[in-house]
Structure 1
Amino acid sequence: MAAILTDDVLEQARHGDTGALTAIYQNLAAPVHGYLAAKGLEDPEAAAQEVFLTVFARLADVTGGAAGLRKFTFSIAHARMVDATRARARAPLAVEYDAATDPRVESSPQDELLGRLESGNLAQALESLVPDQRECVMLRIVAGMSIEETAEIMGKSAGSIKQLQRRGLLTMKKSLEEVNGDD
């Protein structure tokens, strides 16, 4: 249980008594946090910490004893809330990225390849690859292995796997386009 906030506790805190500073924090932190949270701040914990950093740095400015400290603390909390509200109003609206609605997105060779799996020409396209490319594509796309897992299995670097996959998918795409007459 926190010590009661008195004028003596405030005076001790002004002289750097850590117990008194702790008592101030324990008495006022929950109400300050509750106030900031009720006002809708995105991060009331961080704002409350800023309030107490300011309060502790300016204890010499507090007048009116313990009641004045409480008033001073909540005036700083209110100022932080106003600052945060103004900053949020000036900030651009944050919207989650949705690739499905982004007109700049082009399909990758992997997406196109997977889209053509139903064409029945996949085996022929796989045969157009050199053995390392085929193994890489099979492990990455068909087996769903990560780049690191594929690199370990094939005894190659992650960069080599990325290149093998890229080149293999482009070769397969070209092979499927030739078979399907897409030019």
Structure 2
Amino acid sequence: MSEFERTVSEAVYPGGSLSIGEDFDGILDAARSGEPWAFERLYRDLAPAVAGYLRLQGAAEPEDLNSDVFLGVFAGLSSFSGTEQQFRSWVFTIAHRRLVDERRRRTRKPSTPTGEPEVLDRPAGDAEQDAMAALGQRRVAELCAELSADQREVLLLRIVADLTVEQVAEVLGRSKGAVKALQRRGLTALRKKLSGEGVTL
């Protein structure tokens, strides 16, 4: 795992992962049947990663947009069939589309950016741990700022969403070759940035 991947992973879902594992099919079936605990489990496992993706992509209201994404996910559960990885790809496709819609609205009605990266809302806890989490999020925002919008999109979908090149191509409506080229250029840009700081990517 590269320094960038590690930094992103720790900032977006510290101590966690996106994989539900062998319980996925049962949880999905329960959610389709309207079981509240199953909705909560799917949300708890994926929402932090989706919110992190939206935030690092510059969403104006990432928490509101994240809620909107999961309203769409839960409303469309009956139409989904597939594996856990396909489900993750489907969720991030919805997130990407909501983000594109938000960007279109913002161009019609621009807002003034604050210039400070937003810190993930977390329950109150250990002050040192909260401070380290905030630093990690700022670091990720700084690294993402080194990338073009297309490079950032590809790398975040590969790392945060843990999607394959093929799935990223499908989400973005691009060819696999284009995704691979953007990933390569993005990693090259990050390598230059981090090597200047004495870090190996």
Bigger relative contact order (CA 8 A; separation at least 6): 2
TM-score, length-scaled by structure 2: 0.44
TM-score, length-scaled by structure 1: 0.48
